Amino acid sequence: MGDHSHGSPEDSGTVAKADDVAQDRFPDPGLPPHRPRLADRDPRAAKRHERQVALLFTISIIGTLFFFVAYFVLGQLGDMSFAELRVQNAALGLGTAFAMLGIGIGIVHWAKTLMPDHELVEERHEIRPEADRKDAQEIIDTVLDESGIKRRPLIRNTLIGAIALAPIPAIFMFRDLDRTGNTASEMIDSLRHTMWDTGVRLTRDPSGTPIKAADVQIGSAFHVIPEGLNEAEQPLNEKAKAVVLLMRMDPKEMNVSPGREDWNVDGIVAYSKICTHVGCPIALYEQHTHHLLCPCHQSTFDLANECKVVFGPAGHALPQLPIEVDAEGYLVAKSDFHEPVGPSYWERG
Amino acid sequence: MKALSKKRRHPLAAVALLLFGLLITGSLYTAAGNIQEAKAAETSTASQSDIEEGGKLFVANCATCHGKNAEGTNDGPSLIGVGAAAVDFQVGTGRMPMQMQGPQAQVKPVQFDDEQISQLAAYVASLGAGPAIPDEQYLDTSEGDAAHGGTVFRVNCAMCHNAAAAGGALTRGKFAPTLTGVEEKHIYEAMATGPQNMPVFNDSNITPTEKRDVITFLKTIEANGSAGGAALGSLGPVAEGLFIWTAGLGIVIAFTIWLTSRPS
């Protein structure tokens, strides 16, 4: 063997050298010797394999029959208990699995043990990079020359025009998937407004019953929808923007910024439930740490600091809904949100 | 050993090994599940108890953190006004007395008997008005409406406790525990008092009847189990992904090795 310490591309030192072949090549190891299989040598083994393959196919047949037994005999959907349904599901799955696996394993076993196993050598074609490249170049040149695209600019220009125009109908078809008839600016504008407005009562989700300020004790969390949402034209679309989480904390623990002093009612605060990252509903409220956690990407908002982001990918604080108490003692919104709810978008600014 | 080493090249050895591995994993999983299902002993509802006895128990077991008159210290909150339900939940599930300071109190074997718990509850209830231990009528799941309870659960509880009530992670080591195997009374008390970092769901937010519906829903899904086979902890894509990446891919790899191996 060669000297390991002085390897070079010509003489790696680790490969045994063939005497008279060029030194930058590995010697062709050739094919391993053909080894006859058990079934080739012993007719009894061949017979055994035959029976095994037939058995596997029979298992497949039994699997299919088992499926039908499970499907029709074990019961019909609607008059089954959950426990019976589970048993039937498992039986259907097992039947299908055996039906498929029996065929698959049987065929492979057949091919491996009984079908002819002579080795075939398919030579790889010779690699000629320069010649191949030249051939390809020639084909392109011929196409350019014979099509006359260089000599006939009229054809070339009309073709470019046709290709440029052809996709435009698709734009209109996609545009007309929207049947609301709103202009682009109206659609963007709809992101800025929700159902909340001056005097709209805060009601419980999903019952729609109004909430009295006295009902909200420190540490509690209410899931809130605007009054009348269940009767709205598009309740889910409206809900997606208007859902609010109502919480009460000790007013002493709250840091209220100037201009927001009258947005809470004695520590009762309402914040949009839509995460400002990608819009998941945030409702994982921890009453002692005052943290709101988004379950999707772990954005964490600090309720004590007006829902500023303290962790995670969210871009800005949750919008606060200014609230007050009406004459009957129910909580109502003072106005809509002062900023768009949910994730950022280009026009949000 | 010699016989074993002879047989290990047998074409079925790989299959046998795979089946053996799956069998062991399966039985371990079942065993772990059974241990989890083992429930704490039945506790009876607190009756009229001796507040004085409760006070003595309190001074001996709770005052270190909660203060001699339950006024609270740096190590524990004030218990004035938390009500009998909070004591019955915290002590009745073994969360209190707390084993050690940490992100949240963990469930452990219950430290007091039923009489002592009701005495402690009576003492704390005497300090200030708070949620009481619920009436039996609100714990009777045969009366509840599981479908309505499911709606209330999905709006108010599912974000932390998981849609299948399997529990979930919160921030910095805190977590919402699984609700499987929790007593009806303790579920009710948790909603009414908001233990640890759980928000309070008082009777004006979720009415006692709705609380009963929620409990009925939880007990129904617990009794029904998963209709689609193994739920893998109902943890969603993490558990399911782990299973298919190990078991599913393992089977695929085993088949490819078998496909390309030379027959004997």
Q: What is the pLDDT of residue A53?
A: 96
Q: What is the pLDDT at residue B31?
A: 62
Contact A221 B197 (CB under 8 A): no
Do A245 and A333 belong to one domain?
A: yes
Whether A281 and chain B come into contact, CB under 8 Å, resolves to yes
Same domain assignment for residues A45 and A164: no
Residue B239 resides in a domain: no
pLDDT value for A2: 39
Distance from CA of B161 to the nearest CA of A (A): 9
Q: Provide, as residue numbers in chain B, all residues whose Cβ is less than 8 Å from the Cβ of A281.
A: 159
DSSP state for residue B132 in the 8-state scheme: P
Give the whole-number percent of chain A exceeding pLDDT 70.
93
Q: Which residues of B touch A285 (CB under 8 A)?
A: 199
Residue A204 has pLDDT above 50, yes or no: yes
Give the pLDDT score at B168: 87
Same domain, A310 and A338: yes
Three-class SS state of B36 = helix
What Cα–Cα distance (Å) separates residue A73 from each residue in A63, A64, A81, A281, B227?
15, 14, 15, 45, 19
* A&B contacts, CB < 8 Å: 87
* Judgement on whether residues B14 and B86 belong to the same structural domain of the protein: no
Residue B239, helix vs strand vs coil: helix
- The verdict on B109 and B141 lying in the same domain is no
Same domain as A200, residue A288: yes
Q: Is there a domain that residue B200 lies in?
A: yes
pLDDT in tens, A295-346: 889 999 999 999 999 999 998 999 999 999 999 999 999 999 999 999 988 8
Last residue of a domain, one of B70, B99, B133: B133
On whether both B208 and B251 belong to a single domain, the answer is: no
Q: Looking at the structure, do residues A340 and A217 belong to the same domain, yes or no?
A: yes
Instruction: Say whether both A200 and A343 belong to one domain.
Output: yes
Q: What pLDDT is stored for residue A320 in this prediction?
A: 94
Number of domains in chain A: 3
Q: Which of B159, B172, B228 sits opposite A284 (nearest CB)?
A: B159
Would residue A31 count as lying in a domain?
no
% pLDDT > 70, chain B = 88
Tell whether A223 is within 8 A of chain B (Cβ). yes
- The verdict on a CB contact (< 8 Å) between A293 and B170 is yes
Tell me which of A2-11, B80-89, B154-163 is least confident.
A2-11
> Which residue, among A118, A284, A299, would best test binding to B if mutated, counting the most B CBs under 10 Å from its CB?
A284
Out of B200, B202, B224, the one facing A82 most closely (by C-beta) is B224
| Packed helices B184-193 and B208-224: angle between N→C axes, nearest 10 degrees | 140
Percentage above 90 pLDDT, chain B: 29
Q: Is the pLDDT of residue B222 over 60?
A: yes
For chain B, what is the domain count?
A: 3
> Is B43 within the bounds of a domain?
no
Q: Provide the pLDDT for residue A106.
A: 96
Q: Which residues of A touch B157 (CB under 8 A)?
A: none
Task: Specify the CATH number for the domain of residue A327.
Answer: 2.102.10.10
* Cα–Cα separations (whole angstroms), residue A169 to A160, A176, A177, A178, A267: 17, 11, 13, 15, 56
Residue B41 lies in a domain: no
Chain B positions touching A89 (Cβ under 8 A) are 227-229
Specify which of A73-82, B29-38, B236-245 reaches the highest per-range mean pLDDT. B236-245
Query: Beta partners for A330?
Result: A212
Tell me: do B116 and B167 sit in the same domain.
no
| CATH number, domain with residue B152 | 1.10.760.10
Query: How much is the pLDDT for A56?
Result: 96
Q: Is A257 on the interface with B (CB under 8 A)?
A: no
Q: Do A214 and A332 reside in the same domain of the chain?
A: yes
CB contact under 8 A, A37 and B168: no
Torsion of CA B22, B26, B27, B32, to 10 degrees: 140
Whether residue A300 and residue B159 make contact (CB cut-off 8 A), yes or no, is no
Task: Look up the domain containing B52 and give its range.
Answer: 48-133
Within this chain, do residues B175 and B253 fall inside the same structural domain, yes or no? no
In a domain, B248, yes or no: yes
Chain A residue at shortest CA distance from B224: A82
pLDDT value of residue B6: 65
**Domain shared by A75 and A155, yes or no:** no
Our CA-based measurement puts residue B263 at a distance from the nearest CA of chain A, in whole angstroms, of 6
Q: Domain range spanning residue A144?
A: 131-173
- Give domain status of residue B231, yes or no: no
Q: Compute the nearest-CA separation of B53 from chain A (Å).
A: 31
Nearest to A222 among B160, B176, B205 (CB): B205
Q: State the virtual CA torsion across A180, A186, A191, A193 in degrees, nearest 10.
A: -110
Closest-CA residue of A relative to B221 is: A82
pLDDT per residue over B81-128, tens digit each? 888 899 999 999 989 888 888 888 888 888 888 888 888 888 888 888
Query: Chain B: residue nearest A114 by CA?
Result: B263
For A179-299, strand residue ranges (E) read 202-204, 221-226, 244-248, 268-272, 284-286, 291-293
- Is B183 within a domain? yes
Confirm or reject contact between A289 and chain B (CB < 8 A).
yes
Does one domain contain both B54 and B121? yes
Determine the residue among B205, B206, B226, B256 to mutate to test chain A binding: the one whose Cβ has the most chain A Cβ atoms within 10 Å.
Answer: B205
Shortest Cα–Cα distance, A335 to chain B (Å): 24
A161 touches chain B (CB under 8 A): no
Q: Considering only residues 32 to 51 of chain A, which have any Cβ-Cβ distance to chain B shorter than 8 Å?
A: 35, 37-39
Q: Are residues B105 and B58 in the same domain?
A: yes
Could you tell me which chain B residue has the CA closest to the CA of A299?
A: B171
Mean pLDDT of chain B: 83
A22 inside domain: no
Do residue A215 and residue B204 have CB atoms under 8 angstroms apart?
yes
The verdict on pTM exceeding 0.80 is: no
Domain membership of residue A3 (yes or no) is no
- Chain A residue with minimal CA distance to B222? A82
Q: Is A205 on the interface with B (CB under 8 A)?
A: yes
The angle at the Cα of B141, spanning B137 to B145, to the nearest 5 degrees, equals: 105
Whether residues A154 and A259 fall in one domain: no
In a domain, B220, yes or no: yes
Contact between B148 and B210 under an 8 Å Cβ cutoff? The reply is yes
A151 and A258 within one domain: no
Clarify whether residues B253 and B214 are in a common domain. no
Give the domain-ending residue among B77, B98, B133: B133
| A293/B171 touch (CB, cutoff 8 Å), yes or no | yes
Domain end: B133, B156, B178, which one?
Answer: B133
Residue B2 has pLDDT above 70, yes or no: no
How many whole angstroms separate alpha carbon B96 and alpha carbon B71? 17
In this predicted structure, the answer to whether residue A139 has a pLDDT above a threshold of 90 is yes
Do residues A153 and A256 share a domain? no
3-state secondary structure A49-113: HHHHHHHHHHHHHHHHHHHHHHHHCCCCCCCCCHHHHHHHHHHHHHHHHHHHHHHHHHHHHHHHH
Q: Work out the mean pLDDT of chain A and round it to a whole number.
A: 87
Final residue in a domain of this structure, among A65, A83, A113 = A113
Final residue belonging to a domain, choices A64, A86, A113:
A113
State whether A220 and B202 contact (CB < 8 Å). yes
**Distance from the Cα of residue A305 to its chain's centroid:** 34
ipTM of the complex: 0.72
Please indicate, yes or no, whether residues A198 and A340 belong to a single structural domain of this protein.
Answer: yes
- Asked whether residue A246 is assigned to any structural domain, the reply reads yes
